[in-house]
Amino acid sequence: MTNRLSISPDEFTDIAQRILSEVSKRIVGQRELVEGTLICILSGGHALLEGLPGLGKTMTVRTFAEVLDLHFSRIQFTPDLMPSDITGTNVLEEDASGARRFRFQEGPIFANLVLADEINRATPKTQSALLEAMQEHAVTVGNDTHALPKPFFVLATQNPIDLEGTYPLPEAQLDRFMFKLLVPSPSPEELVRILETTTTPATILVEKVADADTINQMRMLSLDVPVAPHVLSYVSELVLRTHPDNPAAPASVKRYVRFGSSPRGAQALVLGAKVKALLEGRYNVAVEDINEIAAWALRHRIILNYEGESENISTESIVRDIVESLVASLTRI
């Protein structure tokens, strides 16, 4: 059994910074994407990466798998993909004596790091096949439940839902993702660097920094990071203000939001903030850590009403309003 404290906080910070450095060799810019993905992995969560095609989402996930030396599997989601194509199925085989029996043949979900590529191009039935795996770290086929390897992460990419051929993810599945990270287009300077590194024969090599056992140990250490009562109260109030029936919710929430975040949003904030603190060399969580990752943890857990959708209100702006209102209320105390 792995010792929970076999990695010290200083070693955690060093390893994490080396991971960020190696991934950044291949991924130009995209600080939020790279840091958010690493925090999600070290927190034991799943991440949803949203952006237009060609912005490096798939390359980012592949690079993380290479740097972390994890068993990697890629599932290309298409309209004709079936649930058994993801989880696996029982196959009938015959032994040398002629006896027949069923044997479970594992699907691509049985990996440490699973890339669910363009997840919103599959039908809702197939999308839902990930639900049990993401929540329980196991899949059930027939009457048998099969445990997934540890660690286990799903990093899913999706195109904006207004693109042709996409199916919106149901709220229940969105809630299983710890973070939703947006992938913006590169700046002019970043695009020049991308051209310099991708249009020559040279291959950008990255070094392996960690392995599955190291990731498990780093996650266990992050769980030990203490969180002060006032920070937990801050997280609680922040999440409760995403609900329009909360008297303390800002005007934008009451006007544009239909449903607020579930308790999973609060859990994501605390777990992510613990890793964020360790990344910066601190063994305690600050309110600033919560604020910095608030949009990552809550933007996909806030459901807009008809008025919010018709006026094209972003949930990120809603989260920003909530944080500002909460900080202002604390300042007045």
Do 24 and 119 lie in one domain? The reply is yes
158 and 242 in a single domain? The answer is: no
Identify whether residues 162 and 282 lie together within a single domain.
no
- Do residue 14 and residue 24 come from a single domain? yes
Whether the CB-CB separation of 227 and 250 falls below 8 Å is answered with: no
Of 205, 223, 241, which one is at a domain's C-terminal end? 223
- Same domain? For 216 and 268 the reply is no
One domain for residues 214 and 306: no
Domain membership of residue 102 (yes or no) is: no
Chosen domain end from 191, 223, 255? 223
d(CA 151, CA 308): 38
CATH of the domain at 76: 3.40.50.300
Q: Are residues 260 and 290 in the same domain?
A: yes
CATH number at residue 285: 1.10.8.80
Report residue 176: phi and psi, to 5°. -75, -20
pTM of structure? 0.86
Q: What is the pLDDT of residue 286?
A: 92
Give the pLDDT means over successive 10-residue stretches in the chain (333 positions).
65 93 85 91 91 81 89 88 82 74 80 87 78 81 81 86 65 87 84 81 84 90 92 94 92 92 94 94 92 93 91 91 87 62
Does 208 share its domain with 285?
A: no
Alpha-carbon distance 60 to 20, whole Å?
A: 11
Strand partners of residue 158: 50
Tell whether 134 and 256 lie within a shared domain. no
pLDDT for 17: 93
Residues 36 and 55 in one domain: yes
Query: What does DSSP assign to residue 301?
Result: T
Owning domain of residue 330: 225-333
43 and 168 share one domain: yes
Determine the pLDDT at residue 56: 77
104, part of any domain: no
What is the widest separation between alpha-carbon atoms in the chain?
A: 81
Whether 101 is covered by a domain: the verdict is no
Report yes or no on 95 lying in a domain: no
Residues 58 and 200 in one domain: yes
Kindly state whether residue 287 falls inside one of the protein's structural domains: yes
**What is the per-residue pLDDT for 163?**
55
30 part of a folded domain: yes
Residue 332 is predicted with a pLDDT of 62
- 113 forms bridges with which residues in the sheet? 72, 153
- The answer to whether residue 91 sits within a structural domain is no
115 within some domain: yes
In this structure, are residues 5 and 283 in contact, taking their beta carbons and an 8 Å threshold? no
Of 206, 223, 240, which marks where a domain is finished?
223
Number of domains composing the chain: 2
User: Could you tell me the end-to-end alpha-carbon distance of the chain, in angstroms, rounded to an integer?
Assistant: 48
